[in-house]
Amino acid sequence: MNQADLTDQDPIFRLKGNMLAVTVLELARNDLARLDRQLADKVAKAPSFFNDTPVLLGLEQLTAADAELDLGALLDICRRHGLLALGARASRPGDIQAADELGLPLLPSASGRERPVAEPQTPEPAEEPVEEAAPAEPPLQPTLVITRPVRGGQQIYARGGDLVVLSTVSPGAELLADGNIHVYGPLRGRVLAGASGNAEARIFCQQLTAELLSIAGRYKVAEDLRRSPQWGKPVHVSLSGDVLNITRL
Amino acid sequence: MAQIIVVTSGKGGVGKTTSSAAIGTGLALRGHKTVIVDFDVGLRNLDLIMGCERRVVYDFINVIHNEATLSQALIKDKRLDNLYVLAASQTRDKEALNKEGVARVIEELKKDFEYIICDSPAGIETGAHLAMYFADIAIVVTNPEVSSVRDSDRILGLLASKSQRAEKGEEPIKEHLLLTRYNPERVARGEMLSVDDVEEILSIGLLGVIPESQAVLKASNQGVPVILDDQSDAGQAYSDAVDRLLGKEVKHRFLEVQKKGLLQRLFGGRE
């Protein structure tokens, strides 16, 4: 790759989209005393988990029937038990206002509603929970079609779209796509579909002999894949829940 | 129009220099004015294989740094009038090579020669990169074992992405596979990858299969390119490879286990 010229014009930062799986502390009721007790129980059972673990506060289950939430006290409880609140998701206007006042970032709620408080925020979807929130719709990119062999050490990334390889993918080569990946030659390299977190992405290949398969960060390496009866066969790979499903085509 | 051929592999010790010497000599034998350039600066061997080590005065690096002219540095082969060697420097290292210098020397050689064979060093660093950068044709030398095949694959990737042709978006470098140190007995015993295995993994055209042969070591030690030993299996295999490089259709030999019969010995293997 070319060496970057470190001139004045060169940006020293990049804004990058990123998908992180994050734990959501979802509050069913506004009962902080009980939360405190129950958290203490949890900490006793799994102390290693509560070690400055980042969490997202889910306040959407609270209804108008619940009393007004003391967000400051909730944050205190979290901090005491080793949980660091990254932000909150809330639906009640009171909670939203409280979060704003405390400077706690508000994230779009799981149902996709945007936060009604207008405040400029950097487009950093890092804290967006993978399992619930629908990722922002990426603009449709044309499919990247590769007709020559992809050799070891080469990396091909179809940003924001699908990748189709009509030739061989050698061991040590890496295919990445935000969408689906299709390989019509022998597949011996690494394949990562849904590279920025799209769990709906799939992998299709004519001959499964890959070093690694991954969809939205869930992966299987050759050591596991070789034990599959589908090894060497034309297959299609999809993600259901946390499990990579390998199905014969 | 001069053709620039890089003989490369990624991995060391697979037979790049032996192949460069044999193919360069083979082209000259067929009447093409040829120069073989040693890019392995600091670990020069080509002069030994070509048997001209005692006549090296100036080298490739001297020409690049304008310390000598090309005609001073070119060493004429004793056996063939139309064959020349440009030796590498033994005292410098690969950093002494630079793209502008190499480009200038190659441009100059193109005026005079039909074929310029660039004998690449092992690795994927400066020396190997510059040896392949200006190539029109690549001969990827591979041994039938997994690490060599993997390295060749890596080199093929670099040929397709880091060469001048790739950078300018021109027609890609023509890639040929030369399988060396092939031992059909060991393939039959499952100790070595077969031609088909290697061809399948690398998916490029097969230029030739050079059998593992005592003749190669003997030729290297004597400083005579093995292709000149036309009694040897390796010499004949290189000869076939050169014919194929020039566009002739020649059937591959030495791929099967040979019965050690006297008649077959006399008639030079199968067919």
Residue B13, annotated as binding a ligand: yes
pLDDT tens, position by position, B117-162 = 999 999 999 999 999 999 999 999 999 999 999 999 999 999 999 9
pTM of model > 0.80: no
Q: Which of B154, B200, B203 sits opposite A153 (nearest CB)?
A: B154
Cα dihedral across residues A99, A100, A103, A109: positive or negative: positive
* CATH ID of A144-248, from 3.40.440.10, 3.90.1010.10, 1.20.1060.10, 2.160.20.70: 2.160.20.70
Buried b (16+ CB within 10 A) or exposed e, B206-235: bbbbbbbbebbeebbeebbbbbbbeebbbb
* Minimal C-alpha gap between B89 and chain A (Å): 28
pLDDT tens, position by position, A42-53 = 777 777 667 777
Query: What residues make up the domain containing B12?
Result: 3-36+104-250
Predicted pLDDT at A139: 63
Domain CATH code at residue B113: 3.40.50.300
The total number of structural domains in chain B stands at 1
Its ipTM equals 0.74
Residue B174, annotated as binding a ligand: no
Q: Is B158 a domain residue?
A: yes
Q: Is B245 a domain residue?
A: yes
pLDDT tens, position by position, A99-137 = 888 888 887 765 444 343 344 444 444 444 444 555 556
pLDDT exceeding 70 applies to what percent of chain A? 81
* Phi-psi domain of A214 (left: phi exceeds 0; alpha: psi -120 through 50; beta: other): beta
Q: What are the backbone dihedrals phi and psi of residue A205, each rounded to the nearest 5 degrees, phi first?
A: -150, 155
Partner-chain contact A148 B154, CB within 8 Å: no
Q: Which of A152, A167, A185 sits opposite B157 (nearest CB)?
A: A152
Can you give the residue ranges of every domain in chain A? 23-101, 144-248
pLDDT tens, position by position, B175-209 = 999 999 999 999 999 999 999 999 999 999 999 99
Q: Is B70 a domain residue?
A: no
Q: How far apart are CA B104 and CA B224, in angstroms?
A: 30
Q: What is the CATH number of domain A23-101?
A: 3.30.70.260
Q: Is B9 a domain residue?
A: yes
Q: Check for a shared fold between A23-101 and A144-248.
A: no
pLDDT surpassing 80 at residue A248: yes
pLDDT class for A90, splitting at 50, 70, 90? Answer: confident
Q: CB of B158 within 8 Å of any CB in chain A? A: yes
pLDDT surpassing 90 at residue A234: yes
Angle between helices B99-112 and B126-133 (to 10 degrees): 40
Report chain B residues whose CB lies below 8 A from the CB of A207.
Answer: none
pLDDT surpassing 50 at residue B68: yes
Buried b (16+ CB within 10 A) or exposed e, B113-129: bbbbbbbbbbbbebbbb
Residues of A with CB under 8 A from a CB of B: 148-154, 167-168, 170-173, 185-186, 188
Q: CB of B203 within 8 Å of any CB in chain A? A: yes
- Amino acid in the structure at residue A97: Q
